[in-house]
């Protein structure tokens, strides 16, 4: 392995309310570097200091240069200096990512030379000084109380290896059912998906037979609640009962978790009786595939893991400022240009992806594959087209349609973009979105289409002549009402196609959506109650507990963000999404719970799994299990078996300290 030719060191010096960062660039290569610029990704506002020029800062992508143009000779080093808020770099995840040097050769050609991060003094200044970060002016309110139960849990669940989520009722019996090589089964039509799944994942062959010969039988039970199931395992026969396909599948998930492979290659199940049903009908996971692109195989693997823990909605974040990931036939530039970033692309590098072309997208065939794979596992796929903010990839792909040249509005969003918001007064905006939604509705058969609607910054549209005329025409008074107008138009457009609009909680700003909308309550626990009581269907995902891109703890080297605090396993398990102020009607509209994984810091499948597990197990239990039946101590007794199963599946997870 050759030594790196370019190394970047970071020296961090807090001074009062400011953090000064000295960046030392070491040229260890054989060539002098002329007219050079240092580039890296840091999603925080910064100020250049003496001797340093801030050439550009787009999103997280920073370009610095020496104030006096000069050559960096071979074997030499030099420093640049910038500053920002004292808490902007507190852990390894905060350090500038993906550094590289752009420099001009003698013929004028610009070369991009990747660098590695060398030394830094982060640990010496960060230990014990975690500073909560403000985020968009939103106050994050933690849950008022833990859902840990004071009563002693029944021993059955942990004694049999322990199902997650914890079943409603479970009675351990003596004995076990054992078999090897093959098991005869019979199943009704509604159990076909469950049987196919078990046949695919069990380490023995399943042979379909008549009811009298079958050792594994799936039978209809009309009185069983929707998605609920009964599971009876006796020494000679296993019976799964349910009233619908989802119930049979959930029963199969519990059966799968309980199976043990012995040293003699036998498959064994403990004798047990289970009656089980979910607390919420909506049990979800959102995965951001825009900031970092995750391959289709990673999506399919994630769906498999969701199914094991009875999660039934996959919220697929497909578009954002940093990438458009969905093929739209009517607008090919979205994936020809908007799906890629790097030097020479319309989108700059972001989040450490460097100068080379980075990105990807899902073809229509990819979408069909994912939707079919999810449906076979009783999972509904919810596509998200994030608008009107978070739309930079779309805008850069079709500026002729989506940009008003006379708009001189000045704004800066939460991710430091100044050009990422669609204009609700332009006819091109509606032409674009209606066409995109036509194809989205065709590709995704589920009932929901998510339109984001989050983080539209202050100052947007103020200097847009088209928007000012639009405000007067419709007697509106604020930007919120402009966003509300756009979302109401799209809500009606989706309704004509049999779809319901979903959005982040900001979607209700502007008071234009009707109550058929479903909102993700993310900024705290009370807001979910407020929205449900108001009349909206609510899926709770309060950031301090459900955002799994948050770091586990305050350790400097633990990956993740911390703007909403840190989120360890006890904290996640203690999440109770409802409050005592929820009315009877509000409780009816409180339809579920969702885990959320933003991917700014998540690039590989291993990183994705590390952030999900084991915290996703805790959230799955919150979504399925009644609060009175949750118990932290019992969860801890069940957890080791679950982690062992994940390891057998080759799933990366965070280790749990004793």
184: CATH: 3.30.379.10
> Domain of 266?
169-276
Q: Are residues 296 and 231 in the same domain?
A: no
Instruction: Work out the average pLDDT over 171-184.
Output: 92
Selecting among 120, 292, 390, 509, the annotated active-site residue is: 390
* 119 and 202, same domain (yes or no): no
State yes or no: pLDDT of 220 exceeds 90: yes
Q: Is residue 641 part of a domain?
A: no
Residue of higher predicted confidence among 129 and 304: 304
Is residue 603 helix, strand or coil?
coil
Same domain? 227 vs 286:
no
Cα separation, 51 vs 66, whole angstroms: 6
Query: Among 276, 311, 332, which residue terminates a domain?
Result: 276
270 and 288 housed in the same domain: no
Instruction: Express each pLDDT in 541-585 by its tens digit.
Output: 999 999 999 999 999 999 999 999 999 999 999 999 999 999 999
Domain assignment of residue 184, yes or no: yes
Q: Residue 264: which pLDDT band, with cuts at 50, 70 and 90?
A: low
With respect to residue 152, please indicate whether it lies within any of the assigned structural domains: no
**Is 652 within the bounds of a domain?**
no
Residues 489 and 599 in one domain: yes
Condensed to tens digits (0 to 9), the pLDDT of residues 403-457 reads 999 999 999 999 999 999 999 999 999 999 999 999 999 999 999 999 999 999 9
pTM of the model: 0.94
Q: Tell whether 622 and 515 lie within a shared domain.
A: yes
| Predicted confidence band of residue 142 (pLDDT cuts 50, 70, 90) | very low
**Domain stops at, among 234, 251, 276:** 276
Q: Which of the following is catalytic: 455, 576, 631, 634?
A: 455
At 286, which CATH number?
Answer: 3.20.20.80
pLDDT of amino acid 158: 52
568 is catalytic: no
Same domain, 230 and 326: no
On whether residue 639 sits in a domain, the answer given is: no
The sign of the torsion formed by the CA atoms of 59, 64, 67, 70 equals negative
Whether 263 shows a pLDDT value over 90: the answer reads no
Any domain includes 291: yes
Report the pLDDT averaged over residues 312-335.
98
Mean pLDDT (the chain) is 92
Whether 544 is covered by a domain: the verdict is yes
Locate 633 and state its tokens: 């101590």
| Same-domain pairing of 262 and 352 | no
Same domain, 192 and 322: no
The string of DSSP letters for 420-473 reads ----TT-HHHHHHHHHHHHHHHHH--SSEEEEE---PPTTTTTT-HHHHHHHHH
Q: Is residue 136 part of a domain?
A: no
| Judgement on whether residues 266 and 339 belong to the same structural domain of the protein | no
Based on the structure, what is the number of domains in the chain? Answer: 3
Kindly list the distances between the CA atom of residue 483 and the CA atoms of 408, 454, 461, 519, in Å, as whole numbers in the listed order: 18, 10, 10, 15
Q: Name the pairing type of β-strands 590-597 and 282-288.
A: parallel
- Answer yes or no: do 185 and 307 share one domain: no
Domain ends where: 110, 126, 142?
Answer: 126
Confidence class of residue 273 from pLDDT cuts 50, 70 and 90? very high
- Among the listed residues 593, 588, 584, the one whose alpha carbon sits nearest the alpha carbon of residue 627: 593
Residue 426 is encoded by which pair of tokens?
Answer: 């332009």
User: Are 500 and 582 in the same domain?
Assistant: yes
What's the CATH code of the domain at 69? 2.60.40.290
pLDDT computed for residue 157 by the predictor:
42
């Amino acid at each position: 392995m050759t030594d790196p030719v370019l190394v970047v060191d970071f020296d961090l010096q807090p001074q009062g309310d400011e953090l000064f960062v000295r960046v030392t660039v070491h040229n260890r290569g054989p060539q002098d570097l002329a007219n050079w610029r240092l580039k890296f990704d840091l999603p925080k506002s910064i100020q250049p200091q003496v001797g340093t020029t801030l050439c550009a800062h787009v999103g997280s992508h920073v370009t610095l240069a020496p104030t006096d143009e000069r050559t960096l000779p071979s074997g030499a080093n030099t420093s640049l200096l910038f500053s920002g808020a004292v808490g902007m770099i507190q852990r390894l995840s905060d350090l500038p990512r993906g550094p590289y040097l752009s420099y001009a050769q003698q013929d004028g050609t610009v070369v991009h030379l990747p660098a590695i991060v060398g030394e830094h003094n982060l640990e010496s200044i960060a230990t014990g000084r975690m500073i909560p970060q403000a985020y968009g002016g939103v106050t994050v309110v933690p849950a008022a109380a833990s859902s840990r139960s004071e009563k002693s849990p029944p021993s059955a669940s942990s004694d049999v290896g322990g199902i997650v989520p914890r079943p409603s009722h479970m009675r351990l019996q003596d004995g076990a059912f054992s078999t090897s090589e093959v098991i005869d089964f019979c199943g009704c039509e509604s159990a076909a998906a469950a049987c196919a799944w078990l046949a695919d994942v069990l380490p023995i062959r399943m042979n379909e037979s008549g009811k009298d010969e079958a050792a594994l039988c799936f039978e209809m039970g009309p009185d069983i609640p929707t998605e609920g199931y009964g599971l009876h395992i006796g020494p000679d026969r296993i019976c799964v009962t349910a009233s619908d396909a989802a119930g049979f599948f959930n029963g199969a998930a519990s059966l799968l978790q309980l199976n043990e492979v012995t040293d003699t290659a036998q498959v064994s199940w403990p004798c047990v009786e289970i009656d089980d049903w979910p607390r919420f009908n909506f049990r979800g996971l959102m995965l951001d595939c825009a900031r970092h692109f995750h391959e289709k195989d990673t999506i399919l693997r994630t769906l498999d893991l969701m199914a094991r823990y009875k999660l039934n909605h996959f919220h697929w974040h497909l578009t954002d400022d940093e990438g458009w990931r969905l093929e739209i036939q009517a607008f090919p530039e979205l994936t020809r240009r908007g799906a890629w970033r790097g030097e020479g692309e319309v989108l700059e590098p972001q989040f450490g992806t460097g100068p080379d072309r980075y990105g990807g997208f899902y073809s229509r065939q990819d979408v069909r594959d994912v939707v079919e794979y999810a449906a076979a596992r009783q999972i509904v796929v919810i596509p998200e087209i994030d608008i009107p903010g978070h739309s930079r990839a779309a805008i850069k792909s079709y500026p002729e349609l989506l940009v008003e040249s006379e708009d001189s509005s000045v704004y800066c969003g939460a991710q430091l973009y100044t050009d990422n918001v669609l204009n609700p007064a332009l006819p091109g905006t509606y032409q674009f979105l209606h066409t995109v939604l036509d194809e989205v509705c065709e590709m995704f058969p589920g009932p929901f289409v998510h339109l984001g609607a989050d983080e539209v910054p202050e100052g947007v549209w103020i200097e847009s002549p088209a928007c000012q005329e639009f405000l007067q025409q419709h007697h509106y008074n604020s930007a919120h009402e402009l966003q509300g107008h756009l979302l109401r138009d799209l809500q009606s457009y989706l309704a004509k196609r049999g779809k319901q609009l979903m959005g982040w909680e900001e979607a209700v700003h502007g008071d234009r959506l009707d109550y058929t909308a479903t909102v993700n309550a993310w900024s705290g626990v009370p807001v979910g109650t407020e929205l449900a009581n108001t009349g909206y269907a609510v899926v709770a995902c309060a950031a301090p507990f459900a955002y799994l891109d948050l770091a586990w703890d305050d350790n400097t080297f633990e990956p993740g963000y911390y703007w909403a605090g840190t989120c360890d396993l006890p904290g996640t398990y203690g999440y109770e999404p409802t409050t005592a102020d929820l009315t009877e009607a509000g409780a009816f509209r409180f339809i579920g719970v969702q885990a959320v994984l933003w991917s700014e810091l998540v690039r590989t499948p291993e990183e994705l799994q590390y952030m999900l597990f084991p915290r996703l197990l805790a959230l799955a239990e919150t979504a399925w299990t009644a609060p009175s039946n949750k118990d932290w101590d019992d969860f801890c007794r069940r957890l080791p078996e679950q982690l062992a199963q994940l390891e057998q599946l080759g799933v990366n997870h965070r280790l749990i300290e004793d």
